[in-house]
Structure 1
Amino acid sequence: MAFDERALVRGPQPAVPEIVPYDDGWPDRFEQHRRRIAVALGSRAHEVEHIGSTSVPGLGAKDVVDVLVVLDDPDDEAAYLTDLERAGYELRVREPGHRALRETSGRRVNVHCYAAGDDEITKYRLLREHLRAHEDARRTYEDAKRALAGREWPDMNHYAEAKGPTIHRLLREAGWTGAL
């Protein structure tokens, strides 16, 4: 299924992803954003967690930290969005049950908002733990990302979608039996 560009709040923004070696500073950058989000949302943020490639030691990645925020209902933007915007994030993707924001300045973080129990949360965690535990899986994933990087994509979400077959295979290896 192709990425639906109608979900992009400001339309597609061409991007050329670059994969860099793992940076020991990524966990600290996550922690700075975790604190900022916790202050902005308080108890409305049930969980704030480091996900994505930058959460996997030894894995090369784009220099963009991914943050998972678990909310009551991401579709209820009135309950949290203004506070995240005041904290320096801007809405980038609006999909049913999911909102993605990025840092207003620097754009070196993506914040993914989901409701508790969403399968996407489970898949993010399962993939992260599988990559942390298996060097061959890390190598496979990094090779796939490097093969796709360095060229212009209509939007970074198209690059993310192109990684889908590799991610799906790794999720199956990790034990995911649900829908992909």
Structure 2
Amino acid sequence: MPTPREIVDFSEDPAPPGASPWVGPKATERIELGAADPSWPARFDAVADRVRDALGPRALELHHVGSTSVPGLDAKPIIDVDLIVADPSDEAAWLPPLEAAGFELRVREPWWQGHRMLRSGDPVTNLHVFGPESAEPWKHRVFRDHLRRDAGDRERYASAKRAAAEQANRRGETTMDYNLRKQEVIREIYDRAFRAAGLI
């Protein structure tokens, strides 16, 4: 488990020179935000069952994160899932079973907490793979739980998402670009969430 200091730290190791996180072509897609859908938790449950069936005990933890995990929050209709495995770098141990279950590796950035991201459809899912010592999944859960409790910050985040989506779509940017456009508001909300959780 990461320390509180690691959880609240936003410093990131840069990619090595010439390295790209993308597996295959750099992805661009239109950012389509929709109203909260009460079926999203059940869709997560279905995805979680697929992952557990594929990996068995190698799936140490599975968490529904991101905007579809927050009731009442506008979101892209994409289920974000954090999967914790013993060693993300040991892809032979977990990637082939997930590929057989219909997941496709899209992002590999071992320089950033060992992160990998896989995509699947029906429902459209981003499956983020981390190790037990990674701080990012803890950030995701603190942020999610804060937004579930705090209606004001939930609306601030929704407004930032709508503005970022409009700009990203107009410029034909990637989802990573869209995420960067939200970053200032996200960091402000994180600060309040960390303080509420006693992490700072």
What is the TM-score normalised by the length of structure 2? 0.82
Q: Is the 8 A contact 1:65 1:109 kept in 2?
A: yes
**1:41-76, Cα deviation, whole Å (9 max, x unpaired):** 000010111000000001010000101101111111
Q: Deviations over 1:101-138 (max 9, x none)?
A: 000x4571100011113110110011001100100010
Give the alignment partner of residue 20 of structure 1, picking from 34, 58, 62.
34
The answer to whether the 8 A contact 2:43-2:123 is kept is no
Aligned partner of 1:67: which letter? V
Indicate yes or no: 2:66 matched with 1:46.
no
Give the 3-state SS of the residue equivalent to 2:153 in structure 1.
helix
1-structure distance, mates of 2:180, 2:129: 18
Q: Is the Cα contact below 8 Å between 2:142 and 2:193 reproduced in 1?
A: yes
> What is the identity, as a one-letter code, of the residue corresponding to 2:159?
D
Q: Counterpart of 1:144?
A: 160
Which residue is equivalent to 1:101?
118
Higher Rg? 2
Q: For residues 59 and 172 of structure 2, what CA distance do their matches in structure 1 show?
A: 32
CA RMSD of superposed structures (Å): 1.9
Residue matched to 1:172: 191
1:1-150 → structure 2 map (5 Å cutoff)? 6-96=20-110, 97-103=114-120, 105=121, 108-150=124-166
Task: Check the 8 A contact 2:66/2:144 in 1, yes or no.
Answer: yes
- Distance (Å, rounded) in 2 between the aligned partners of 1:160 and 1:122: 18
**C-alpha separation in 1, matches of 2:79 and 2:172:** 20
Give TM-score, length-normalised by structure 1: 0.91
Asked if structure 1 preserves the Cα contact closer than 8 Å seen for 2:83 and 2:129, the reply is yes
How many residues align? The count is: 176
Structure 1 residue 174 displacement after superposition: 0.7
> What amino acid does structure 2 have at the position aligned with 1:7?
P
3-state DSSP of counterpart to 2:161: helix
Q: Which runs of 5+ in 1 are unaligned?
A: none
Q: Return 5+ residue gaps in structure 2 as ranges.
A: 1-11
